[in-house]
Amino acid sequence: MLICNQCKITIRGVFKRCPLCQGELHGTAGAGDDVFPVISEGLKPFRHIIRLALFLTIAAAVIAVAIDMAIQSSTRLGWSLFVIAGLASLWILFGIANKRWWNIPKSIILLLIFTSILEVAWDYLTGFYKWSFTFVIPIMFSASIIALTIFAVIRKLQPGDYLFILFIMSIVSVCSLLLIIFHLVSVIYPALICFVFSVISSSRIIIFEKKSLLKELRRRMHV
């Protein structure tokens, strides 16, 4: 136990000076006196992987630019810009997922939104053949609905989470239906399957989580 003669207090923990007066401490700290939690070093390998991935990303971008310039024999960049944009997109999506890792439903929705924007941008830059609306976005919508449904089944959620998921599924169903109505897709089956998935999943939440939804609505509307 550490003792401060000036403040007349005993201190638990590993300190070099008194936290009150910054005076010298007397005595020795016991093995069980450290009240602060030990920070786990378990994340170090993961950090090394991230640093390695960042290094490989930079190396890939530099090599792509060098090859592009060598093939064209000029400083004007061509296909290497798509490589750089693709690598940047991956890191943007990773940053979104990493920031929201503690909230899986919101993380899935944020990834869905930003991925959809990136896919439409890629489609536009490559000639706008509408493959993003026809295949990629409906497939990602369907995958997100399946992921949210599985997450809601295997984990007990708060009423607010069910309300949020139902709201998102309603938006997905409307968006997939609009893709078909305004002829933004050349093949309707992916968008149609996405619409069916969203309606069925929304119905499941409404039927089996009715009490939680009504309770949350009353709380938010102060009824």
Number of structural domains found in the chain: 3
Write the CB contacts of 25 (distance below 8 Å, at least 6 apart in sequence): 2, 3, 4, 11, 15, 16, 17, 18
Shared domain check, 75 and 17: no
45 in a structural domain: no
Beta bridge partners of 11: 2
Query: Average model confidence (pLDDT) for the chain?
Result: 78
Shared domain check, 59 and 5: no
What integer is the mean pLDDT of 75-103? 71
Give the pLDDT band (50/70/90) at residue 42.
very low
The residue with greater pLDDT, 1 or 200, is 200
Shared domain check, 90 and 32: no
What tens digit of pLDDT does each residue of 113-132 get? 888 888 888 888 878 888 88
The model's pTM is: 0.59
170 in a structural domain: yes
* pLDDT given for residue 107 in this prediction: 76
**Which one of 12-21, 76-85, 186-195 scores highest in mean pLDDT?**
186-195
Give the pLDDT band (50/70/90) at residue 101.
low
What integer is the mean pLDDT of 95-120? 74
43 in a structural domain: no
Shared domain check, 210 and 132: yes
Shared domain check, 153 and 63: no
Separation between Cα atoms, residue 79 and residue 71, nearest integer Å: 11
* pLDDT given for residue 123 in this prediction: 84
Domain enclosing residue 66, as ranges: 50-99
* pLDDT given for residue 20 in this prediction: 73
